[in-house]
Structure 1
Amino acid sequence: MDRKYLTEFGLLVKGHQLQLCYPQDLSYLKREGKNRYHLYMICRIPYISFVKDSLEVTTGYMKFSIKVEKEEGDFSYIDYKIKRDNEAESNYDSFELDESLRTIVIKKGETTLHIRPTYFYPKEDSNILLPTEILYVGQSYGNEGERSAVSRLSGHETLQKIVQEHSFNRNFGDIAVILIEPEAKIVSMTNPWIPSQVTGKNNELHEKEVYETMSEESYKSVVNITEAAWIRYFRPYYNEKFKQIFPNIKHTSYKTYYDLDFGSVMVDLDFGCIGLEAYNEHIAPINHPIAEFPFHSSEDRKNMFDLF
C-alpha cells in the first residue's frame, strides 16, 4: 500500500539538555532541584581523575591537570588554565584536591563545593571524545511530570546492581549517568505525487485531529516512546523490554501515535555536545546517533520518509 493520508505525520525527538554525572552526585542534583530531566542512560566511562599536586590557584587563574584512563592501562593527560574573576572569587577560603584526586574541594565560609573532573572534561570542544558504553536506558515521569530521572535514580535497583557488578568484576572505568531532557516536534509531509487513500476534506479533518490531540497530549507519551526507541537502538545489556520489537501496537505507553496514524518516529541525540562517543556490543562508537522507526511495515504502508 502507498500512503493512507495525503498528509502524513511523524514525531521528531531531540535531546534538548544532556548532563553527565556520577551516581554519587545525584543527591547534590536532587537538592539543587534538577527536575527537568526525565530520561537517563546508565553507562560506563573511563576512569578520570585530577593529577596529584597539579592544582595551582592564584589571584588571576586556576591551573590543574586531568588524566583519563585508556583501555590498555595507560593514561592521557590534559592541562587546564582557567581565568578567575579576582573580585568575585577573592572571598573563597580554600581550594584543594581531596585524597582520591576525584574532587576539587572549594570552601567559602560554611559552604563547601565539590567539583568533579567531568565538570571540565569531556566538553563539546574536546579533541578526544570520551568512549561511553551504554548499559541501560530508563525514564521517570509520573502522572504530571512530578518524578524526575534524578529522584528515580536515587534509589534505583538496576543502577545499584550495575555499580555492584562493575566493582566486583573490577571492570575498566567508572559507572556514570547521562541525564537527558527530550524535546519533541511534529513533522508533517505532503507528497501529491504518491497515491493516497484519504485526500480532500477527510485529510483536512485528520490534520485537525492530529494537531488538537497533540497539543493536549501529555508529555509523558513523548518520554515513553523516546525511552523505547533508544532501548531498541542500543539494545543495552541490562534492559529487557523493547530490545527486540519496537514500535508495536500492543505497547500501550505510546498508543496515541498509532491512534493518530503517525507514520514514523525519529530520535536524535547529540552526545558530542557533552564530549561523549556512545557505543556498546551492538553499536559501533558514534557521537550523534539518529534513528528512525516506522509505525507500519513496508508491506502495509510506504514509509513517510520515502519521498519517491
Structure 2
Amino acid sequence: MKRKFLTEYAICYMNSLTGIITADQLMSGGTLPPEEEQRLSNCHIYAIAARPSVKFKPESLKHQNEKFSGTLTYRVEGKECEFEFGNYSWELEAGAVKLDCPYPHLVVNALTPEGKVTTHMPANIMAMLRARSDTQRHDLNAFQVLYIGQAIGDGSRNAVDRLSSHSTLQRILARAPYDHPDQEIVLFMYEFGHTKIMSSMDGRAVGAIADDENDARFANAVKNPPKKKQSVGMIEAALIRYFQPEYNDKFKIKFPSTKLKTLKSCYDLDISALTVELDSSEVGVFMWSSSVSISNHHTMSFDLVAPLKRASFFNATGIKEMPGIIKATL
C-alpha cells in the first residue's frame, strides 16, 4: 500500500487520572470528600476489574508504637495464600485502647474500653495500600479487566452515583460470586486528559500528495479535534477491542470499522490512526485480561485506513511495520 499524503497523522489519548473504589465502598451508600468527588467528576471511562478477595489473619495482627502489621489471606484457584504487611501508621484516637478483628475477618476495628468502634481498617483497603507501595507484580496488585464502559452524565449526578446505579455493574456483582468466587470487584475510573495529534512524514513516498492540500488537512485536524463525547466513545471502543473483557459484547470484534459512527470524526478529519495508552504505574497496579498479558502500561494502536488500500501513520517506505497494530475493516 502507498501513502495518499506525504503527512499522515494519528490522534493519541492517554489517561491523566486514575480513581479506584471497591464495589462494597460504592454500594454502601457512603460519600466521598468534596475534593475527591471533584477529582472524579471528569472521569468518563471506567473499568470493572477483579482481584483476589482478602481477609485478615487475626492471630497475626500486631499494634505497637502506633504501627499496625500482620498478614492478609486470600485464595488463588482455591489455594490459600498469604501476604504480609507492616509498619502501617495507625494512631488510636477518640479513647480507643485496642483492636478487634471479628469474623469473617474483613475489617479491623479500633475499640474503646466500652466496645465502641472509633476507626476501622478494611482488609481490601489495606491490600490496596500495600499493593500501591510495591512496584513488583503480585497477586494483590494484579487486576483482571471484566468490563469497560463510559459514564458521561448530564450534570445532575456525580460520577460515583452514576456508577452505583449502572445496570451492568449490578449484573456483574450478581454474577461475580458464581463466575469469580474467590475474587472481589474493584472499579477504576479514568480521565483521559492527555490528547495530542502526532504526525509522520514519508519523504520517500512515491506519488504522495505534498502540496497545500496536505498541509491544510493537518492544520484542520489540529484546530478541530473530536469533541469530548466522540473521544470518550473512541477510547471506550479501543479499550474493549484490546482487552476483550468477558462482560462486554459490542466492539470486541468489529472495532475499528469504517462503518462505525464512533469513528466518524476521525474519518471526517482524515485521521489515519488511533492510539490509546492506559497507564496504571502511578497507582501501583497491573491490568490484564484473558487476551492481554499483564502490565502496568498498555498501548493499543489502530490503523483506520487499511481497508481503503492506503498506508497509514504507522507505515513508511522501506520500514517494516511495527507488530500488534489492529487494522480496521470495512
Q: TM-score range by the shorter chain?
A: 0.7 to 0.9
Deviation sequence 1:73-97 (CA, Å, 0-9, x none)? 211222220346xxxx675544745
Q: Does 1:14 align with 2:21?
A: no
CA–CA separation in structure 1 for the residues paired with 2:110 and 2:206: 66
Which moves more between the two structures, 24-33 or 219-228? Answer: 24-33
1:121 to partner: Cα distance: 3.1
Alignment-mate amino acid for residue 177 of structure 2 = S
Please give the residue correspondences for 1:109-128 in structure 2 after superposition, counting only pairs within 5 Å: 116-123=125-132, 125-128=134-137
Aligned residue number for residue 43 of structure 1: 49
Deviation sequence 1:52-76 (CA, Å, 0-9, x none)? 2544445553334333433342112
Aligned residue number for residue 191 of structure 1: 202
Aligned residue number for residue 164 of structure 1: 174
Alignment-mate amino acid for residue 145 of structure 2 = I
3-state SS of the aligned residue for 1:246? coil
Q: 1:146 to 1:222 in 2, by over 3 A?
A: farther
TM-score (norm 1): 0.83
1:260 to partner: Cα distance: 0.5
Q: 1:148 to 1:248 in 2, by over 3 A?
A: farther
Which of residues 56, 73, 77 is equivalent to 1:67? 73
Deviation sequence 1:115-172 (CA, Å, 0-9, x none)? 52244132162433333221111011236x7766423211111111111122245622
CA–CA separation in structure 1 for the residues paired with 2:219 and 2:157: 32
Q: 1:101 to 1:35 in 2, by over 3 A?
A: farther
Q: Percent identity?
A: 25
CA–CA separation in structure 1 for the residues paired with 2:77 and 2:142: 10
1:213 to partner: Cα distance: 0.5
CA–CA separation in structure 2 for the residues paired with 1:200 and 1:25: 57
Q: 1:300 to 1:92 in 2, by over 3 A?
A: farther
CA–CA separation in structure 1 for the residues paired with 2:42 and 2:63: 34
Give yes or no for contact 1:12–1:266 (8 Å, CA) kept in 2.
Answer: yes
Equivalences, count? 301
Q: Which runs of 5+ in 1 are unaligned?
A: none
Q: Does 1:235 align with 2:244?
A: yes
Please give the residue correspondences for 1:90-239 in structure 2 after superposition, counting only pairs within 5 Å: 92-94=94-96, 96=99, 99=102, 100-105=104-109, 116-123=125-132, 125-129=134-138, 130-142=141-153, 149-168=159-178, 171-182=181-192, 183-195=194-206, 197-214=208-225, 217-239=226-248
Greater RCO, 1 or 2 (C-alpha within 8 Å, sep 6+)? 1
Q: 1:72 to 1:181 in 2, by over 3 A?
A: same
1:293 to partner: Cα distance: 0.7
Which of residues 69, 78, 85 is equivalent to 2:84? 78
1:204 to partner: Cα distance: 2.0
Give yes or no for contact 1:139–1:227 (8 Å, CA) kept in 2.
Answer: yes
1:302 to partner: Cα distance: 1.0
Q: 1:300 to 1:146 in 2, by over 3 A?
A: farther
Alignment-mate amino acid for residue 155 of structure 1 = S
Q: 1:225 to 1:149 in 2, by over 3 A?
A: farther
Q: 1:262 to 1:29 in 2, by over 3 A?
A: farther
1:238 to partner: Cα distance: 1.2
